[in-house]
Structure 1
Amino acid sequence: MFYAILAYHVEDTVQSWTSDEDAALMKDLLELNDRLTREGRLGPAARLGATAEAVTLRGPGDGMIIDGPFAETKEQLLGLYVLDCADQDEAITAARDLKRVNPTAVYEIRPIVLYLPGAALAAG
């Protein structure tokens, strides 16, 4: 069985780290990633882009774009799609296609910043 492990942290804290502090953490994380890869257990790993860069598509029909990764507390993250898009507008178009199929869902559109060498997304 596969599990998604979603990393939550206080964004302001992460953004306050110096380059050296971030590099030290990434060194430790990459060592763990290497071990999990050798064990055949690790799939792609990614750090999400800043919440300030996120938008959410919600509402009836084509929905409307709202700044931020905000969902009502009654909603939970139940799945995700990783798409290779030229820009945010193309990603929003794809999310609108998903919304047409599943109109009661809320879709957060957020850039992904890959940080695990060797597990990059295939360019389309």
Structure 2
Amino acid sequence: MLYALLCYNNEAAVCGLSPEEDAKMMAGVRRAEEKILARGKFGPRLRLMPTTAATFVKAGKDPLVIDGPFAETKEQLLGFWILECDSLEDAIEAGKHLAREREYGGIEVRPISAYNPPGVQD
């Protein structure tokens, strides 16, 4: 089964890191990824640009386009990993590896269900 591991963190704190601090943080992430890679299959892993670079299309009959940032939470989605795991427990263990490498924020583990509408080819 596929799982998304979603990285939530304080965007202002992360964007405020010096290049050296960011490199140290990302080295920790890579160490965690190596542990996960040894146990499972990795799909895409992406670091998102800041919310200030985002655009939001609000649902409705006449969709409204809004420039970011728009999240009113203490933590923002900053990136994600896609993993193929045998069980939820395996995905949670991968999330723990990533969570150990951060001082704040967290990792949301969410199963992914395939969305394959009839008549649409991959």
Give me the whole-angstrom Cα distance separating, in 2, the residues matched to 1:10 and 1:72: 12
CA drift at 1:21: 0.6
Paired position in structure 2 for 1:18: 18
| Equivalent residue letter for 2:9 | H
Alpha-carbon distance in structure 1 between the residues aligned to 2:56 and 2:43: 26
The reply to whether residue 51 of structure 1 matches residue 51 of structure 2 is yes
What are the residue-to-residue correspondences of 1:35-114 with 2, within 5 Å?
35-68=35-68, 70=70
Give SS of 1:7's match: strand
Q: Secondary structure at the match of 1:14?
A: helix
Q: Which consecutive residues of structure 2, in runs of 5 or more, have no partner in the other structure?
A: 74-122
Higher relative contact order (CA 8 A, sep 6+): 2
Question: Aligned to 1:22, what secondary structure does the other structure show?
Answer: helix
The Cα of 1:6 is off from its aligned counterpart by 1.2
- The one-letter amino acid of 2:20's match is D
Instruction: State the identity %.
Output: 37
**Distance in 1 of aligned mates of 2:6 and 2:48:** 10
* 2:23 partner SS: helix
1:72 deviates by 8.9
CA RMSD in angstroms, aligned pairs only: 2.5
Q: Which moved more, 1:29-38 or 1:13-22?
A: 29-38
Counterpart for residue 76 of structure 1: none
Q: For 1:60, what is the secondary structure of its paired residue?
A: coil
Within 2, Cα distance between the matches of 1:33 and 1:60? 39
Distance in structure 2 (CA, Å) of the matches to 1:8 and 1:16: 16
Q: Could you say if the C-alpha distance between residues 65 and 31 of structure 1 is closer, same or farther in structure 2, counting changes exceeding 3 Å?
A: same
In structure 1, runs of 5+ residues without a counterpart are: 74-124
Residue 35 of structure 1: how far off its partner (Å):
2.0
CA distance in 1, matches of 2:10, 2:64: 27
Structure 2 counterpart of 1:19, one-letter code: P
More strand by share: 2
